[in-house]
Homo-oligomer: A and B are copies of this chain.
Amino acid sequence: MTEFSRLSLNQKTVNRWSMPEALEGCARAQIPFIGLWRDKVAEIGVAATVKRLHELELKVSSLCRGGFFPARTRAEFETHLEDNRRAIEEAAQLETEVLVLVCGAAPDRDIVGARAMIAEAIGILAPFAQQNGVKLGIEPLHPISAADRSAIVTLEQANDLAEQFPLEQVGVVIDVFHVWWDPKVEQQIARAGPRILGFHVDDWLVPLPDPLLGRGMMGDGVIELRRLRRAVDAAGYTGPIEVEIFNQAIWDEPGDTVLERMKKRYLEHVLEPVLEPVLEPIFEPIHEPKQKTQEAL
């Protein structure tokens, strides 16, 4: 166990790196977990990715992403389900237990209808996931994305949805960027308990540079990361802590530089501070005035 034993690099944080570069960079930085993206895996294929993971002794914290369920037609909905079945199979092959779901938004104005489609899709997919040894992790997204990426926008809503299914099939993934603002976040983290399948850290920058590509490095924004990490720990979660940062400026930096800063910030802002033993003087020290001033005379 080292201080980085729970750290995971979500490969989107170093978006310019190819699949092999991300795996090698992660191993070089001695980060034990990596969060993978399907489009990146597709660059070299699942088999080659698994081979390299084994060679480098890396574990996969999660596969991003399934979801995007709502559709305009039944045929389109079925296509979305089929794509998610492939994602579940890939997660199993990549030896991760967690497929992260970004559930998708309404294709029209009907957000209530979109939510019904999401619930139906998860109900159809959940047993198939279990058969493959994979759990579906519903990730509530910040309401800024309600119109184009996810009609699931609070942890309470994700918990309500997850609890409709067996613990072995469906859980939640908590990203601080998406939930930090919520007055019920600690209550809902406690409620999620054994359903917590992932914990993502990053930060909320002020002002927000961009709705999608404006996430910050831990410590550069306003999120009380340590408070939320403590809440997730108290809920019983002992799994990987994944750093997922969508930020163009960070993407433009060399990957190794990003990983070094990420490890430093993880220690400073996410984990507990290491307490140095403090030797307090028992008596106030007596300072002899070095010279008498005019005023003192």
- Footprint of B on A, CB under 8 Å? 106, 109-111, 115, 142-144, 146-148, 153-154, 156-157, 180-183, 204, 206-208, 211, 221-224
Contact = CB atoms under 8 A, between A and B. Distances in A.
A182 B206 contact: no
B143 A181 contact: yes
A268 to B, nearest CB: 14
Complex copy number for this chain: 2
Contacts of A143: 142-144, 181-182
A12 to B, nearest CB: 19
Given A111-B181, A147-B222, 19 more contacts: A109-B222, A109-B224, A110-B224, A111-B180, A111-B224, A115-B183, A142-B143, A142-B144, A143-B144, A143-B181, A144-B208, A146-B204, A147-B204, A147-B206, A148-B206, A148-B207, A156-B183, A208-B211, A211-B211
Given A147-B206, A206-B147, A222 B106 contact: yes
Chain A: interface secondary structure? Answer: loop
Contact of A183 (B153, B206, B222): B153
Contacts of A183: 115, 153-154, 156-157
A270 to B, nearest CB: 14
Nearest to A141: B181
Contacts of A180: 111, 146
A185 to B, nearest CB: 10
Looking at A109, A148, A157, A180, which has the most chain B CB atoms within 10 Å of its CB? A109
Contacts of A110: 224
Contacts of A207: 148, 211
A222 B143 CA distance: 13
Looking at A110, A115, A143, which has the most chain B CB atoms within 10 Å of its CB? A143
Contacts of A154: 182-183
A163 B180 CA distance: 24
Contacts of A206: 147-148
Contacts of A204: 146-147
A157 B185 CA distance: 12
A24 to B, nearest CB: 35
Contact of A153 (B182, B221, B222): B182
Nearest to A154: B183
A221 B153 CA distance: 18
30 contacts: A106-B222, A109-B223, A109-B224, A110-B224, A111-B180, A111-B181, A111-B224, A115-B183, A142-B143, A142-B144, A143-B143, A143-B181, A143-B182, A144-B208, A146-B181, A146-B204, A147-B181, A147-B206, A147-B221, A147-B222, A148-B206, A153-B181, A153-B182, A153-B183, A154-B182, A154-B183, A156-B183, A157-B183, A207-B211, A208-B211
